[in-house]
């Protein structure tokens, strides 16, 4: 019995102490204030955490939207850039061939002529040639004539599937029957392997040569038609039996980007349609000289169309 009472008293004292502290105002106030401070701190921390989470969520959402807008803008930029590139390429092509198109529209014999791009240029000691866009798949054949601004550029010497090789008039292996526009002196035009020089060989010393005279293809032969410009005489020396004549082409082959490709037969048919000698004024690259349209044969002269081309 004594042991039980001994155990009861400590418990009773603890309970009494707790009740007394609760109803004792100073202690109660301290407990309330402490609890309120702790609760306020917890609530403030909670609000800070919630606000931080909301801000982070808003930033994340904003970044997602900005990334989407950036991707959309990049797609639009690439699309516009592609259109601009295409438009500029088309404009460049139009600018390059405008004069050729106008020239072709003026002359009936050029309606079926093709405007082809020069893909590659070679001016070496061995040969001079162009590679042009268009080959056997487009109906291009060997010995077709390449011309530009009334000037002979060369002939198709080899044809491949998608491109063709053009032997240029400056190639040292190219030979063309030619005549002088004013004096009608005949000879054989030959390239020298230099882009700005050619020669006229086998001109009889009894014929008259004039410095500055234009040299045209005479049409003597089966390949080159009559009346295409080959160059002009820059110097000549009279020898015992012939002349040493140097020519200069009237076009810059290095600057050609597009050219006409025509059939030699079509040009020869045009020439054969005219049989009246008609004075014409020939102008090629600002070089002008009056001449008669008859060069190779007395009965065969340039047609009105080809005369207009030479006036061009």
- Tens-place pLDDT, residues 256-288: 988 888 887 766 665 555 433 333 333 444 434
Q: pLDDT tens digit string along 47-58? A: 888 888 989 989
Q: pLDDT tens digit string along 191-249? A: 999 998 999 999 998 999 999 999 999 888 778 888 889 999 999 999 888 999 999 99
**pLDDT value of position 22:** 62
Domain total of the chain: 1
Residue 149, domain member (yes or no)? yes
* Cβ–Cβ under 8 Å, residues 151 and 310: no
Residue 222, domain member (yes or no)? yes
Which CATH number do you get for residue 276? Answer: 2.40.10.340
**pLDDT value of position 25:** 59
pLDDT exceeds 60 at position 289 = no
Residue 299, domain member (yes or no)? yes
Distances (CA, A) of 216 to 130, 195, 219, 222, 229: 22, 18, 9, 16, 4
**pLDDT value of position 210:** 92
Q: pLDDT tens digit string along 65-100? A: 999 999 999 999 988 888 888 888 888 878 777 777
Residue 88, domain member (yes or no)? no
Q: How confident is the model at residue 139 (pLDDT cuts 50, 70, 90)?
A: confident
Q: How confident is the model at residue 42 (pLDDT cuts 50, 70, 90)?
A: confident
Residue 34, domain member (yes or no)? no
The 3-state DSSP class for residue 198 equals: strand
Residue 32, domain member (yes or no)? no
Identify the residue with better confidence: 111 or 307.
Answer: 111
Residue 247, domain member (yes or no)? yes
Which residue range is the domain that position 225 belongs to? 109-311
Torsions phi, psi for 76 (to 5 deg): -65, -40
User: Residue 249, CB half-sphere, CA atoms under 13 Å: how many?
Assistant: 28
Closest CA to 135 of 160, 115, 111: 160
Residue 120, domain member (yes or no)? yes
């Amino acid at each position: 019995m004594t042991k039980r009472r001994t155990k009861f008293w400590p418990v009773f004292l603890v309970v009494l102490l707790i009740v007394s502290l609760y109803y004792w105002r100073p202690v109660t106030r301290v407990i309330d204030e402490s609890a309120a401070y702790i609760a306020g701190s917890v609530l403030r921390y909670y609000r800070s955490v919630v606000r931080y989470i909301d801000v982070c969520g808003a930033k994340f959402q904003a970044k997602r939207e900005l990334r989407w807008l950036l991707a959309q803008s990049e797609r639009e930029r690439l699309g516009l850039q592609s259109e601009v590139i295409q438009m500029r390429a088309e404009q460049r092509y139009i600018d390059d061939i405008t004069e050729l198109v106008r020239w072709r529209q003026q002359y009936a014999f050029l309606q079926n002529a093709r405007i082809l791009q020069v893909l590659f240029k070679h001016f070496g000691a061995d040969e001079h040639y162009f590679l042009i866009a268009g080959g056997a798949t487009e109906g291009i054949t060997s010995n077709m004539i390449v011309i530009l601004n009334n000037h002979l550029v060369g002939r198709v010497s080899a044809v491949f599937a998608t491109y063709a090789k053009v032997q240029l008039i400056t190639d040292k292996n190219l030979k063309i029957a030619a005549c002088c526009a004013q004096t009608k002196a005949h000879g054989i035009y030959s390239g020298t392997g230099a882009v700005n020089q050619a020669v006229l060989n086998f001109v009889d010393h009894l014929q008259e040569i004039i410095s500055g005279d234009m040299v045209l293809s005479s049409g003597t032969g089966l390949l080159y038609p009559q009346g295409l410009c080959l160059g002009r005489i820059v110097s000549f020396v009279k020898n015992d039996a012939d002349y040493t004549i140097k020519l200069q082409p009237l076009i810059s082959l290095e600057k050609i980007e597009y050219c006409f490709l025509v059939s030699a037969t079509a040009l020869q048919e045009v020439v054969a349609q005219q049989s009246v000698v008609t004075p014409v004024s020939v102008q090629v690259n600002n070089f002008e000289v009056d001449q008669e349209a008859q060069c190779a044969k007395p009965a065969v002269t340039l047609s009105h169309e080809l005369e207009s081309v030479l006036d061009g």
